[in-house]
Amino acid sequence: MASRVLTVASLCAIVQLTGCAAFRNYDSELQQTNQHLSSGNVDAALALLEKNNKDEDKDLLYYFEKGELLRSKGDLVASQQAWHQADNVVFKWEESVKLDTGKYLAQFGSYLVNDKVRRYEGYDYEKVMLSTQMALNLLAMNDFDAARTEIKKTHEREAVIAELRDKEYLKREEEAEKEGIKTEYKDLQGYPVAALDAPEVVGLKNSYQSAFSHYLSGYVYEALGERGLAAPGYRKAAELRPNTPLLEQALLDLDKPAAKNSDSDVLIVVQSGLAPARDSIRVPLPLPISGNLVITPLSFPIIKEDTSTPRFSQIGLDRNTLELTALNSTTAMSRRALRDDMPGIILRTSVRAISRGVAQKQLNDSNPLAGLAVGIASAVVEGADTRTWRTLPDDTQVVRVRMSQGEHTLSLPSNLGGTQVKVKIERPYQVVTLRVVGSQVYAGGPATQVIPNTAAQAVASIK
């Protein structure tokens, strides 16, 4: 009897230590949320988000998702408030990294805690895109000065991340050698290696620097008359996405005198689709446990691309057709992040499995019921971390054009219902943002309004 009590107590303690995150299916939650967003029912998406996040201590993902949903609804002020909460979390992370990088790496690199029950800190590209999205909100409200602050924050955040990842790489190499773990993701039988080795993934300099973010910074500085600061932004964007005429032309135009006519320099930003999901796949891996080589099924994350939104590369402006230039792919950044993280994930997962296997064998020898309890608890928490910012736009495309001040009409392709958007141009420099999810077109800011469409597909309007 005492042994059974000990067994049950052990199982309960282990499950309690893992927390509710062990049982939460974040991907399933966000699939439902995004279905509402894709159908134009943003209020239902927000209600579902609140329903799934009832704890008072909200995590980073809650604020990520809430900010994007509120942005789609058109409440840019509330969107900024939610994202400021997220930004505070990221700021605390930055401070902990700068205060003692070694201590942070030691805590995060712990082999005993499954990745999916750690407190979510956000992927590097999510941290950088947060400040970029906040800048877009401000630009939609024509607040270029406040957007400049967010742009500056983006550059500082990238520097913190770059230094941290350099140190993390060295530490991981040392730990892998110490633990004798030489497995690479290319050695995982049945793992979709090709997705991580795709040219658009390998071609990225890293997972967090975006050509769009840097081009936007150049545009903001140029609009504010700070051409000396605009040049590095355009130059970095061209470096991150070479052979892109839009980026090369931006640098050339900086050397030209400002236009003297009354036309406006307008940047149209079209963000479409949803960030990819993360799923968990089990792969058999031979591990040395108690002197024997044991084939052990272990869980690793994979990226699942979102296909809810048709792809397009053109929009209409009045009676003209404009070609869009792609400057960012969240899917590619997400895959690059996973590609860079996989050595650490394999190391942590393998060491944890070996330690668990040794401990369970010892328990089986002395107390089989306790060993069974630990085995059940291990199975409960086993699985890759599938959390990620799902409402973040996938593709970001832009076109820059000179437009006369006054009202104009933008039109989306026929596969998006031919949705039309009224735009009022009234400033020398102006940013127009469109958000496309599924068959829905959301237009942000006081200068844009979606024209009601009588087609079968509903169109949501942000005023």
Q: Tokens 């307008």 identify what position?
A: 266
pLDDT at 333 over 90: yes
> Which H or E run includes 406?
strand 406-411
Q: What is the pLDDT of residue 100?
A: 78
CA 60 to mean position of chain CA atoms: 12
Q: What is the pLDDT of residue 105?
A: 72
Q: 277 pairs with which residues across the strands?
A: 304
Q: What is the pLDDT of residue 5?
A: 38
Question: Confidence band (pLDDT; 50, 70, 90) for 270?
Answer: very high
Q: What is the pLDDT of residue 442?
A: 94
- Dist CA 74 CA 30 (whole Å): 20
pLDDT at 194 over 70: yes
For the stretch 356-375, pLDDT in tens is 766 666 655 666 665 555 55
- Dist CA 422 CA 434 (whole Å): 11
Q: What is the pLDDT of residue 38?
A: 92
Q: What percent of the chain has pLDDT over 70?
A: 85
Q: The pTM is what?
A: 0.88
Q: Which of 52-61, 238-247, 357-366 has the highest mean pLDDT?
A: 238-247
For the stretch 67-77, pLDDT in tens is 999 999 999 99
Question: Confidence band (pLDDT; 50, 70, 90) for 459?
Answer: very low
Alpha-carbon Rg of the chain, whole angstroms? Answer: 24
Which of 229 and 19 is assigned the larger pLDDT? 229
Provide the residue count of the chain: 463
Alpha helices (H) along 288-414: 330-366, 368-381
pLDDT at 11 over 50: no
- Dist CA 150 CA 146 (whole Å): 7
CB-CB contact of 283 with 298 (8 Å): yes
- The mean-pLDDT minimum among 17-26, 28-37, 84-93 falls in 17-26
Across the chain, mean pLDDT equals 86
Question: Confidence band (pLDDT; 50, 70, 90) for 458?
Answer: very low
Half-sphere exposure of residue 365: CA atoms within 13 angstroms, side-chain side: 7
Strand ranges across the sheet with 448-450 = 320-323, 314-317, 406-411, 420-425, 448-450
Mean pLDDT confidence for 107-132: 81
CB-CB contact of 448 with 422 (8 Å): yes
Q: β-strands 429-437, 264-272: how paired? A: parallel
Domains of the chain: 2-261+330-395 (1.25.40.10)
pLDDT at 259 over 90: no
CB-CB contact of 131 with 212 (8 Å): no
State the virtual CA torsion across 232, 233, 238, 240 in degrees, nearest 10. Answer: 110
For the stretch 156-190, pLDDT in tens is 999 999 999 988 888 888 888 887 777 788 888 88
Question: 3-state DSSP call for residue 421?
Answer: strand
Q: Which of 446, 416, 415 is nearest to 433 (CA)?
A: 446
Backbone dihedral angles phi then psi of residue 406, each to the nearest 5 degrees? 130, -165
CB-CB contact of 237 with 214 (8 Å): yes
Burial class (CB in 10 A: 0-12, 13-18, 19+), 85: middle
For the stretch 195-242, pLDDT in tens is 999 999 999 999 999 999 999 999 999 999 999 999 999 999 999 999
For the stretch 403-440, pLDDT in tens is 999 999 999 998 887 899 999 999 999 999 999 999 89
Question: Confidence band (pLDDT; 50, 70, 90) for 3?
Answer: very low
Measure Cα distances from 213 to 43, 185, 399, 431, 442 in Å. 29, 30, 14, 14, 21
pLDDT at 110 over 80: no
Q: What is the pLDDT of residue 364?
A: 58
Number of H helices, E strands in the chain: 15, 12
Instruction: Name the amino acid, one letter, at 287.
Output: L
